[in-house]
Amino acid sequence: MLLASPEDFERARSLRSEIERLDHHYYVLDAPLVPDAEYDRLFRELQALEARFPELQQQNSPTQRVGGRVLEAFSPVRHAVPMLSIRTETDTESTGAMAFDARVRRELKLTESDPPVEYAAELKFDGLAINLRYENGVLICAATRGDGETGEDVTENVRTVGQIPLRLRMPVAPAVLEVRGEIYMKRADFNRFNARALAAGEKNLVNPRNGAAGSIRQLDSKIAASRPLSFFAYGLGEVRGWSLPPTHAEVLDALTTIGLPVCAERAVCRGATALADFHARVAARRHELPFDIDGVVYKVNSLALQEKLGFVTREPRWAVAHKYPAEEALTQLLGIDVQVGRTGAITPVARLAPVFVGGVTVTNATLHNQDEIDRKDVRIGDTVIVRRAGDVIPEVVGPVLDRRNGDLPRFNLLEQFRVCPVCGSHVVRGEDEAVARCTGGLYCPAQRKQALLHFASRRAMDIEGLGDKLVDQLVDENIVRTPADLYKLGVLALANLERMGEKSAINLLAAIDHSRETSLARFIFSLGIRNVGEATAKDLARYFGSLDCLLDADEAALTAVPDVGPIVARCIVEFCHEAHNLQVIDDLRAAGVRWPEGAPQASVTGRLVGKVVVLTGTLPTLSRDDAKALIEAEGGKVSGSVSKKTDYVVAGTEAGSKLEKALSLGVVVLDEAQLQQLLREGTLERGADATTTDNGVTQ
State the binding site for NAD(+): 36-40, 85-86, 122, 145, 182, 299, 323
Residue 49, beta-bridge partner list: none
Amino acid found at 676: Q
CB-CB contact of 677 with 648 (8 Å)? no
Alpha helices in 293-360 (DSSP H): 303-309
Task: State the greatest distance between any 2 C-alpha atoms of the chain, in Å, as a whole number.
Answer: 107
Residues 6+ apart with CB under 8 A from 34: 22, 330, 385, 400
Q: Could you tell me which residues are annotated as the binding site for Zn(2+)?
A: 420, 423, 444
Helix segments in 464-531, DSSP class H: 468-476, 491-495, 502-514, 520-526
Half-sphere exposure of 214 (CA within 13 A, CB side): 18
Are β-strands 176-184 and 230-240 bridged in parallel, bridged antiparallel, or unpaired? antiparallel
Alpha carbons 132 and 181: distance in angstroms, whole number:
8
- Do 287 and 389 touch, CB atoms closer than 8 A? yes
Relative to beta strand 328-340, strand 345-357 is antiparallel
Helices (H), 286-429: 303-309, 370-376, 413-416
State yes or no: is 124 an active-site residue.
yes
- β-strand partners of 315: 312
Cα distances (angstroms) measured from residue 33 to each of 90, 209, 239, 331, 335 = 20, 13, 37, 13, 22
Task: Give the Cα separation of 298 and 148 in Å (integer).
Answer: 20
User: 475 vs 336, 471, 590, CA distance in Å?
Assistant: 28, 6, 22
Whether 694 contacts 620, CB under 8 Å: yes
Q: Which of 441, 495, 450, 500 has its CA nearest to residue 475?
A: 450
- Three-state DSSP at 84 gives coil
Query: Which of 446, 414, 430 minimizes the C-alpha distance to 580?
Result: 446
Assign 643 to helix, strand or coil.
coil
What SS3 state is found at 570?
helix
Residues 694, 698, 699: CA angle, nearest 5 degrees: 110
Catalytic residue among 124, 376, 538, 658: 124
Which residues are annotated as catalytic?
A: 124
